[in-house]
Structure 1
Amino acid sequence: MATYVKCQQTLEPCRVICQDEMTESVEIEVFKKHLLDMFTLGGYGSLSLPQIDRIRWHMFPEIRIPAKQGELFDGAETTATEQPSILQIMDLQQERLARSLGEGHRVIHGVAGSGKTLILGYRAKHLAKDCTKPILVLCYNKVLAKRIEHWVQQKEIADKVNVLTFHAWCHRQLTAYNVGLPAGDVKRDGYWDDMVNQIIRAVDNKLIPSGQYEAVLIDEGHDFRPEWLKLIVQMVDPRTNSLLVLYDDAQSIYHSVEKRNFSFKSVGIQAQGRTTILKINYRNTQEILQFAGQFARQLLAPTEADEDSAPRLMPISAGRKGPEPLWIKLPSLQEQARYTAEQLKAAHKDGMPWKDMAILYRHWDLQ
C-alpha cells in the first residue's frame, strides 16, 4: 500500500497499471482501453513500415536475415553495432508463423524465396530447447543439407538436431540397426530405390523402430515421393506428434510425374486446419521474376487445391528493384562460350570476384 501511495505521488493513477489488472480474468477490451488511456499525448504521427521494421530488427535479433540470401546459414550475423542501411528481417507473417507453430502436423506451402527454410531453422532451434529425443531435419538436396547443418552447428544445437538428406538417413538407419544394405554398388541402377524399399520393409517388420524423433522437419517436401513421406511420418514420436513439411509444387524437379496425384492424408500427414501459404518472393527482384515468368508461365500458373493437396502458387514480388536481365542469342555453342568468357573477364577486371560469378547450363556434356 505504501508503494502504491508513493507511486500516486509520482504518477497520475491513470498512468499506472497494477499486477492484478493484468491477469487472464481481465477482459481484453478493458485492458486495451486501460493501456490506450495511459497515452494522452499525440500529434507525432504514426511510424512508417520501415521504421517499424527497424525497431523489430533491434528487439528481435533472431528474425534478422543476412544481407546475402546465399549466406542464409553460413554468413556471419550482423550485430547491432553493424546495422545495415537496408534491414532484412522476417515479415510479420513469417515471424508470427515461426513463433506460433504449435504441436501436431504442419504444412507450409511457399513459393521460392519466401523464407521457408528460415522458418524451419527457427523452429528447429525452438524445439531443441526442451527436447528429450533427437530432432530430425531432412531434405533432398545435399548442398541445402550442408548449409542447414552448418547453421545448426553455429547455433550449438548439433547434439540435438540431426540434419541429413533423405537417402543419407536411410543409409544410416540400415547400418545402425544392422539390417544390411542393398547388393551391389551405389552406382547400380535401382540401388537407391532398393535401399528405400529395404528400410520400408524393415520398419514394417519392426526391425527398425518408429517414433525415434521428438520432431521431424522436412525441407523440399515437394521432392519427396509419397512412400518416403509415409515412411518419415512414422518416425515422429506419437507423444509430441510434431511434424513440419515445407512444400512448393512449382519447385518440384525430381520424380514430378509420379507424385502429382496424392493427398497428404494418404501418407499419414494430418494437414487439415494446419496449413499456411507464403506467396511473397524476397529472393529475386521484380525484374527477374517477370523475366522468369516468360519461360515458366505454365509451371508458375497457380492451381487451386483443397487443404489436403498441394496447390501451385504464383510468386509475388516483394517490390525489390534491380537491373533488367539481358537476353542474348548467339548462333553456336562456341560463340556462346566465347561471349560468356569475355563478359566474365570484363566483370572481374572491373572488380567483381570470381566467386561471385556463376555459369548455368542444362546438360552435363556442355562442360
Structure 2
Amino acid sequence: MERFVSPSIEHLESLRQPLTAGERLVFNFFNETLAPDWEIYIQPHLNGLRPDFVLLNPNVGIAVFEVKDWNLQAMRYSVEERPGKVPKLCASDGIKSFSIQNQNPVEKIYRYKQEIHDLYCPRLDGKAGFATITAGVIFPFAKQTEINAMLKPCLAYRGMLDWPQYNPISGAEAIAENRVDLVFPESRRAASKFMSNEQADDMRNWLIEPDYATVQRKPIELDSTQRSYVTSRTQSGYRRIKGPAGSGKSLILAARAAQLLGEGKEVLVVTFNITLLHYLMDVAVRWPNAHGRTRQGITWLNFHAWCKRVCVDSDHEQEYLDLWRGSEDQQGSEHQVLSTRLPAVVASCIEGDVDEVIQRYDAVLVDEGQDFLPTWWNVLRKICRKDGEMLLVADATQDVYGTARSWTDEAMTGAGFPGGRWAELQTCYRLPPSALETARNFASQYLPSDTVDLPNSPQGELDLYPCHLRWVQISAEKGTQVCAEEILQMAPRASDDILAITDITFLTGNQRMGAAVVNALESKGVNAVHTYSSDKKESRRRKMGFYMGDARVKATTLHSFKGWESRAIVLFVGENIDNQACALIYTGLTRLKRHEKGSYLTVVSCASTLAEFGKTWTNYEER
C-alpha cells in the first residue's frame, strides 16, 4: 500500500514555505516509521491555522505535530507562571529578556486539538473523541531533559502531563533512534472504536492541499498564440488584446511583465481592481523567465494608488487631497473627480516634472481595460519612456462599471493605437465545458448584444472536467442562512472528491450581505478572509490582504473577484436586476475554474426574473 502524502513527496522542494531542516527530518522520520495507512499532511490549510504536520488514519485517529528547530543552548528559555493565566514562555539573548508566547508550541497544539475535536470532526463522540486525537511537539535538535524542564509548567497548566500518550513531547534522541513509540505512542494502535471513515472524510476536506497551492508550483501553460504575445512586441510598442472570460488575457499580461523584467526592463502593471494585483503577482512568478523576482522587481499598483503616488512624489499631495474634499457628499462629484479632474491633475504633475522625480517605465501594462476610461489610459502613457511598450487587455462582456462603451474607435486612435483591429483571443481554457455553455446562454439572454464576446471551447476538446452546477431559488429573507448552508455543504456533497474547504469562494455584489454571511460562518467556527466593510479605508485594507493562498474560506464582492478564478464558488444574486447586475452575474459565472477532479458552482438567487434560467440547471431547488 502506497502512503498518501499531501503535498506529494516530489513537490516538497517547491513549497511556498520551504520545510526547515527539522521539518524535513521529521517528515522522513514519519514516512519511514509509520504504517502505510497513516496519511501525512504537510503544512495543511486548517481554517487559518498552519500546523507543521497532521497525520490521519481512518481506523485509528488523528495526530497534529508542531516542530521546533530551536537550539536551546543558543538562548536562555524560561517560563513565567502567572496565577489564573496561561504560563508565558520567554527567552533571553543575554542582554534583554522578551516574550515568545506567540511561539509557545504547547499553546499551539492545545488549540489544534480543541478545534479538531469541536469543528473539523463534529461526529467524534463527545469527550471520549479526544482519545482519537494526538497533539505533540517535536524538538529535533534539543535534548529531552532540556525540553521537559522548559515546558513542564505549560504542560501542567493544560493538563497534558496526565495524558502523555496523547500529548507527546520528544527531542533529538527519539528522532535519532527512530523511536516512533516515543514520538507518537498512539501510532501503535491497530484500531479505535471512536474513529471511522466518515470522521476521516470530515477531516480530509480541511487537510488536503488546496488547488491554488498546487497550481502555484506549475509553470504557466499557454497556446502558441498566447505565447507569441508574451514573447514579442508590436512595431509601435502599443498592443491591445480582447477576449472572453478565461481566454488567458491576464496570464498573457502577467507573463509579459515577467518576460520584460527578465530582459532588464522597468515595468508597471496597473489595474482598477485592488485585489486583482495579488492574482497577477501569483501568475507572474510562474513564468520561467521571472527568476522569482516579480513581486519586488515589477511595480504593481491599482490606478488610484498610482495617481496618489505621482501627486505625493511631485509635491502635489495637498492638491490631490483637495480633489476629494466633499466629493462623497455631492451626487456625481466623485465620478467627475475620477473621470476628469484626477487625470488632469496627474497629467499636470507629470508634464511639470522636468527633473523626472516621478518614476518612468519601459513598459506599462493595464489589465481589465474595460474598467478604464480613455483619460486614465492617456495619462499613463505619459510615464512610458520613448520607444517603450503599452499593453491594454479587455473584455467588454464584463462591463460592470458601464465604462466599456467609452472606448470608441476615435478614442482608440487618440490613445496611441495605430489603425487595425484588436488582437483577439477566442478560446476559453478556464471554464469546464458545461459551465461554459451555461455562461454563454446567460450572456445571450441577459447582456447587451453589442458588448457580448462569447467564449468558445478549445476545438475538438473532450469533456474530461466534471462540473456540478446547482441553482437554489429563495426569498430574500433567507439569503444569509441559505448561503452559509450552501458553503458548509459544498465539500461534504463532493463525495467522489476531496474538496479543500479553503478552495471555496463566496461571491456577492452586496457588502452588507457578504458581511452577514461571513458572520454566519464564523458563528459555526469557520473563518473567512474577506473584503467586506462599510468603511472605505477598512475595505481597502482588507482588499490589500485578500489572496487565494490564505488558509481560510474566501469571501469577496463580484467586483473584487474580476480576473480571478476558483474551482468551488457559491454566488449570491440579489432581487434587483439591471444591465450592470447581469454583467456582474456573468462575471461570477465565468470565475469557475476547470479541474480534472471536479468543479462546483452554486447560485443562490432571490431574483424572480432569473428563476426560469435557473430551472435549466441540472440541479435546481426552490426554498
Q: TM-score, normalised by structure 2?
A: 0.40
User: Kindly tell me: are residues 277 and 187 of structure 1, through their superposed partners in 2, closer, same or farther at Cα, counting changes over 3 Å?
Assistant: farther
How far, CA to CA, are the matches of 2:273 and 2:402 in structure 1? 14
Aligned partner of 1:146 among 278, 285, 303? 278
The offset of 1:115, in angstroms, is 0.9
User: Kindly tell me: are residues 360 and 352 of structure 1, through their superposed partners in 2, closer, same or farther at Cα, counting changes over 3 Å?
Assistant: same
More strand by share: 2
Letter in 2 for 1:114: S
Matches within 5 A, 1:332-351: 332-349=475-492
Q: Is the 8 A contact 1:293 1:300 kept in 2?
A: no
User: Kindly tell me: are residues 300 and 135 of structure 1, through their superposed partners in 2, closer, same or farther at Cα, counting changes over 3 Å?
Assistant: same
Q: CA RMSD of the aligned region, Å?
A: 3.5
Letter in 1 for 2:476: L
How far, CA to CA, are the matches of 1:97 and 1:364 in structure 2? 37
Unaligned runs of 5+ in 1: 1-67, 80-87, 304-310
> Is 1:113 aligned to residue 246 of structure 2?
yes
How far, CA to CA, are the matches of 1:237 and 1:228 in structure 2? 17
The offset of 1:327, in angstroms, is 2.4
> Is 1:329 aligned to residue 473 of structure 2?
yes
> Is 1:235 aligned to residue 383 of structure 2?
yes
Aligned pair count reads 281
> Is 1:358 aligned to residue 505 of structure 2?
yes
Residue 100 of structure 1 corresponds to 232
Q: Is the 8 A contact 1:301 1:314 kept in 2?
A: no
Percent of paired sites with the same residue: 22
Aligned partner of 2:221 among 70, 85, 89? 89
How far, CA to CA, are the matches of 1:322 and 1:188 in structure 2? 49
Instruction: Give the match's secondary structure for 1:237.
Output: strand
Matches within 5 A, 1:305-316: 312-316=452-456
User: Kindly tell me: are residues 270 and 329 of structure 1, through their superposed partners in 2, closer, same or farther at Cα, counting changes over 3 Å?
Assistant: same
The offset of 1:97, in angstroms, is 2.8
Aligned partner of 1:177 among 305, 309, 314? 314
Higher relative contact order (CA 8 A, sep 6+): 1
Q: Is the 8 A contact 1:112 1:248 kept in 2?
A: yes
Residue 362 of structure 2 corresponds to 214
How far, CA to CA, are the matches of 2:211 and 2:253 in structure 1? 16
How far, CA to CA, are the matches of 1:359 and 1:157 in structure 2? 29
Q: Is the 8 A contact 1:179 1:207 kept in 2?
A: no
User: Kindly tell me: are residues 359 and 77 of structure 1, through their superposed partners in 2, closer, same or farther at Cα, counting changes over 3 Å?
Assistant: closer
Larger Rg: 2
How far, CA to CA, are the matches of 1:282 and 1:69 in structure 2? 20
Residue 105 of structure 2 corresponds to none
User: Kindly tell me: are residues 225 and 299 of structure 1, through their superposed partners in 2, closer, same or farther at Cα, counting changes over 3 Å?
Assistant: farther
Instruction: Give the match's secondary structure for 2:322.
Output: coil
The offset of 1:167, in angstroms, is 0.7
Q: Is the 8 A contact 2:361 2:388 kept in 1?
A: no
Matches within 5 A, 1:206-285: 206=353, 212-238=360-386, 240-256=387-403, 259-261=406-408, 263-273=410-420, 275-285=422-432
Residue 218 of structure 2 corresponds to 78
Q: Is the 8 A contact 1:136 1:215 kept in 2?
A: yes
How far, CA to CA, are the matches of 2:277 and 2:510 in structure 1? 24
Q: Is the 8 A contact 2:365 2:390 kept in 1?
A: yes
How far, CA to CA, are the matches of 2:487 and 2:296 in structure 1? 43
User: Kindly tell me: are residues 110 and 116 of structure 1, through their superposed partners in 2, closer, same or farther at Cα, counting changes over 3 Å?
Assistant: same
Residue 187 of structure 2 corresponds to none
Aligned partner of 1:203 among 330, 350, 353? 350
User: Kindly tell me: are residues 206 and 177 of structure 1, through their superposed partners in 2, closer, same or farther at Cα, counting changes over 3 Å?
Assistant: closer
